[in-house]
């Protein structure tokens, strides 16, 4: 339960980190270390070089400008959880974060680490899928961006080359009257989700849903957005029929089986949790409307 020997590097700038990652053989980036740490201890990962990003301070920003949220990859989960501006603009981020590990792990864990690790059950990729976030990468060939829809390429395989660094994320907060919900089913508090569903809804002046986003994690190898279900919600006022139609779409996802749950069980959960998330989000949107 001790990592194999490696050479440790702690660059203080992004350009230095890019240079190291591009020139070293079998190098691994260390962000918050809450997933990589255990993997190193288990020797699932045996890098020759560890490039620690914790001293690269220009990757820790959180700022919101004209409704667009910009977050550095090394922004810690606990800092995001406590950020009042983010809570106001995107309250679902905090609701999802409270399901991410425990507060001791969120004190170190980062948003970029979660997205780059891309555990199928991770909550933050699911939230980023709801907002169609843009991922910002830097590498020896320069910078590029990847939309969230193209981020997951396979099991724990993001659209990130071995010499590239995820530097930040950006997304647009929703406007107008809206509701959100992030609901998760896990065996214990803080465990990996068997299934979790995030839902964002925006209402028009007549309290009908004008915009909807639903994403699920834990079901497939990467977050699944559900446009077919979202379509059924547009124009509805939270009627049972529309919610059931959305839930039926969630049950159609080709779900993975593992030690903890069968695909069929996950499909059932996907339906139940989707209905729950939509109902809660709609109720919250109505509440917000009443408050205005």
Residues that bind other proteins (CB under 8 A): 1-8, 10, 33-34, 37-38, 40-42, 50, 52, 54, 78, 101-105, 107-108, 188-190
CB of 41 to other proteins, least distance (A): 5
How far apart, in whole angstroms, are the C-alpha atoms of residue 31 and residue 103? Answer: 17
Please state, as a whole number, how many other Cβ atoms lie within 10 Å of the Cβ of residue 113: 25
Which residue, 47 or 179, has its beta carbon nearer to other proteins? 47
Contact 115, 74 (CB under 8 A): no
3-state helix, strand, coil in the chain (%, to 5): 35, 25, 40
Dihedral angle over CA of 85, 91, 96, 100, nearest 10 = 20
Contact 9, 23 (CB under 8 A): no
Which residue, 62 or 286, has its beta carbon nearer to other proteins? 62
Which residue, 57 or 149, has its beta carbon nearer to other proteins? 57
Which residue, 106 or 266, has its beta carbon nearer to other proteins? 106
Structure tokens at 171: 């997304």
CB of 52 to other proteins, least distance (A): 7
Q: Cα 31–195–36 angle (5° rounding)?
A: 20
Please state, as a whole number, how many other Cβ atoms lie within 10 Å of the Cβ of residue 230: 21
Contact 139, 163 (CB under 8 A): yes
Which residue, 36 or 255, has its beta carbon nearer to other proteins? 36
CB of 33 to other proteins, least distance (A): 5
Which residue, 46 or 234, has its beta carbon nearer to other proteins? 46
CB of 59 to other proteins, least distance (A): 16
CB of 92 to other proteins, least distance (A): 19
CB of 259 to other proteins, least distance (A): 16
Please state, as a whole number, how many other Cβ atoms lie within 10 Å of the Cβ of residue 239: 11
262: which residues sit within 8 A by CB, 6+ positions away? none
């Amino acid at each position: 339960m001790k990592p194999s020997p490696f050479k440790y590097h702690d660059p203080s700038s992004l350009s230095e980190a890019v240079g190291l990652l591009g020139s070293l053989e079998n190098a691994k980036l260390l962000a918050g270390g809450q997933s990589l740490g255990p993997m190193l201890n288990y020797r699932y990962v045996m890098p020759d070089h560890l490039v620690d990003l914790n001293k690269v301070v220009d990757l820790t920003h959180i700022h919101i400008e004209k409704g667009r949220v910009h977050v550095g990859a090394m922004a810690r989960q606990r800092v995001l959880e406590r950020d009042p501006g983010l809570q106001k603009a995107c309250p679902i981020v905090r609701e999802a974060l409270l399901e991410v590990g425990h507060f001791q792990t969120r004190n170190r864990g980062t948003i970029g680490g979660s997205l780059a690790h891309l555990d199928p059950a991770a909550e933050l990729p699911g939230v980023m899928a709801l907002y169609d976030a843009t991922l910002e990468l830097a590498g020896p060939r320069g910078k590029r961006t990847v939309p969230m829809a193209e981020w997951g390429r396979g099991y724990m395989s993001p659209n990130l080359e071995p010499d590239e660094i995820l530097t930040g994320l950006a997304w647009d907060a929703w406007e107008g009257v809206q509701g959100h919900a992030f609901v998760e089913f896990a065996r214990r508090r803080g465990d990996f989700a068997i299934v979790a569903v995030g839902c964002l809804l925006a209402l028009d002046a007549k309290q009908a849903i004008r915009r909807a986003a639903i994403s699920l994690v834990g079901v497939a190898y990467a977050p699944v957005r559900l446009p077919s279900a979202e379509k059924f919600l547009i124009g509805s006022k939270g009627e049972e029929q529309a919610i059931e139609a959305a839930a039926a779409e969630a049950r159609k996802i080709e779900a993975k089986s593992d030690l903890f749950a069968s695909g069929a069980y996950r499909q059932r959960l996907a339906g139940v949790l989707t209905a729950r998330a939509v109902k809660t989000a709609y109720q919250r949107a109505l509440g917000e409307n009443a408050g205005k």
